[in-house]
Amino acid sequence: MTVGPTVAGGLKLVPETEHDWMLLIGIAGDSDSDLAGRLAGLMDEDSMWDEIVAPELAEEFSKQRITVVKEVMRAKEEEDEIHILKGSVDVWYGALNQARLALEDKYRFGAREDVDPKMLEDSSARAAYFRNNFYSHIQGLLLQYVMGD
């Protein structure tokens, strides 16, 4: 996959293999649909966060995942590039973040320098680790090239 900034101030993703497409489609698959519930768990019961705020956040997070999958599927069907522009960058960043938060919750990678090499002997953990790093790298590029002032 080729990834780079565009003159329009966006980021271009050019998948080249089936594996690249699967990697992008996997963003939604890696995401945890209960992020809103887990964030609500940080609040005290008096706030009624579960009932009042979490459902709205869950819907917002769901929209992010659906939008990204739809865009990837559209690009795949049309054999097109994916352009992430300012107008859609929050959705992409959020979907990638959801995937990373869910992977972290499942595998507990921690900071990159703290990763236990033994954990990576497991093939699914190793694959998840590389996907997590890929998502993080794309997020870094979004911050650098698209979300800047």
HSE, CB side, 13 Å, CA atoms: give it for residue 60.
12
How many residues are listed for the chain in this entry? 149
Computed on alpha carbons and rounded to an integer, the radius of gyration of the chain in Å comes to 16
Residues 11, 27, 35, 89: which binds other proteins (CB under 8 A)? 35
| Alpha-carbon span 15 to 21, nearest angstrom | 6
Residue 134 as a binder of other proteins (CB under 8 A): the answer is no
| Alpha-carbon span 6 to 25, nearest angstrom | 22
Residue 113 as a binder of other proteins (CB under 8 A): the answer is no
Residue 104 as a binder of other proteins (CB under 8 A): the answer is yes
Find the part of the chain contacting other proteins (CB under 8 A) among 17-25, 80-88, 106-114, 122-130. Answer: 106-114
Residue 29 or 140 with smaller CB distance to other proteins = 140
Residue 8 or 52 with smaller CB distance to other proteins = 52
Residue 88 as a binder of other proteins (CB under 8 A): the answer is no
Total interface residues for other proteins by CB under 8 A:
26
Residue 60 as a binder of other proteins (CB under 8 A): the answer is yes
Residue 57 as a binder of other proteins (CB under 8 A): the answer is yes
Q: How far is CA 56 from CA 37, 50, 60, in A?
A: 11, 10, 6
Residue 81 or 116 with smaller CB distance to other proteins = 116
DSSP-derived letter for residue 147 is: S
- Cβ atoms within 10 Å of 66's Cβ, excluding its own: 13
Interacting residue ranges for other proteins, rule: CB under 8 A: 35-36, 39, 42-44, 47, 53, 57, 60-61, 93-94, 97-98, 100-101, 104, 109-111, 136, 139-140, 143, 147
